[in-house]
Structure 1
């Protein structure tokens, strides 16, 4: 489905949901660090898409890009709300991952995720979209509303910071 050709039929929202929901949830988990919230973010993106365009998505050039952008924007909103709440409430105990999350992640993945959490939100978004969602610089720029140069420099700085953090763990 990535990069639909003009000759391909426009997918129905049910097909898009069936084929892309899991990858969008994975993207959202990497951005918000919380599986239930990530699932809510993706569900809200599909709901908004349905409200705006119905079952047929012919009015959209790239429905997947629309959903990706919706998920990233919703993840940003979730993180802003969390920051606001944390500014007005005392610190609580750290989130304990659900048992299914622990099973899904190998130790090295946990180290990378922990290192990702130390990056700025923009750096994390760029790296997740580049290496997890396999988007090009142009697609990342369009999704995040940045220039390609900003995406390139942000990715470079993020990889440097990530490398330093992971070397410190070893």
Structure 2
């Protein structure tokens, strides 16, 4: 198996497992109609998405809270209920980017420190191989991590990833390819 394909399979299995763990229960109503319904149905999945992007649970929760606050402020401007989930996903990606930019700026002035704030439950539910993949994801550049997380955890198409991240579909494809190559190198180096 090609190294790139092996990395893709590892990412797909790991983030697919997380997606199954976070899958919302079958809705009792077709589409959430209120902000409270949206919060109940999507909060945990959005937090997991943010954790995979910013690698810190408390910060991820803040990003998601800000996304919901932004949705509340713009609730009257939404074209339909389905657009709310897309709005939230985009807001989480953009909020995560802002956090990473601020973190980078802060690190220029202070020596960086490693904090792994993942919950014990989330790591305990993953095998050692899956933990290695999640650790390797944390070593990728932010855009590469975003694309892989949105693809394999978020289950988004290239077009949806392009929309959520504000980059072209071609850039999504090339970024994913480079990310999988880099991930395979990280995984091989850790073995």
Shorter-chain TM-score bucket reads 0.7 to 0.9
Please, which of 95, 100, 110 is the counterpart of residue 79 of structure 1?
100
Aligned length: 161
- Separation (CA, whole Å) in 2 of partners of 1:91 and 1:69: 28
- 1:103 to 1:75, Cα distance in 2 relative to 1, 3 A: same
RMSD: 2.1
Q: CA deviation at 1:80?
A: 0.8
Instruction: Classify the secondary structure of the residue corresponding to 1:62.
Output: helix
Matches within 5 A, 1:33-112: 33-53=55-75, 57-58=78-79, 62-92=83-113, 94-97=114-117, 99-112=120-133
Deviating beyond 6 angstroms after TM superposition, the runs of 4 or more aligned structure 1 residues are: none
Corresponding residue for 2:34? Answer: 12
What TM-score do the two structures reach when normalised by structure 1?
0.85
- 1:47 to 1:115, Cα distance in 2 relative to 1, 3 A: same
Does the 8 Å CA contact 2:31/2:82 hold for their aligned counterparts? no
- Separation (CA, whole Å) in 2 of partners of 1:132 and 1:62: 20
Q: CA deviation at 1:106?
A: 3.4
Corresponding residue for 2:185? Answer: 164
Q: CA deviation at 1:75?
A: 0.4
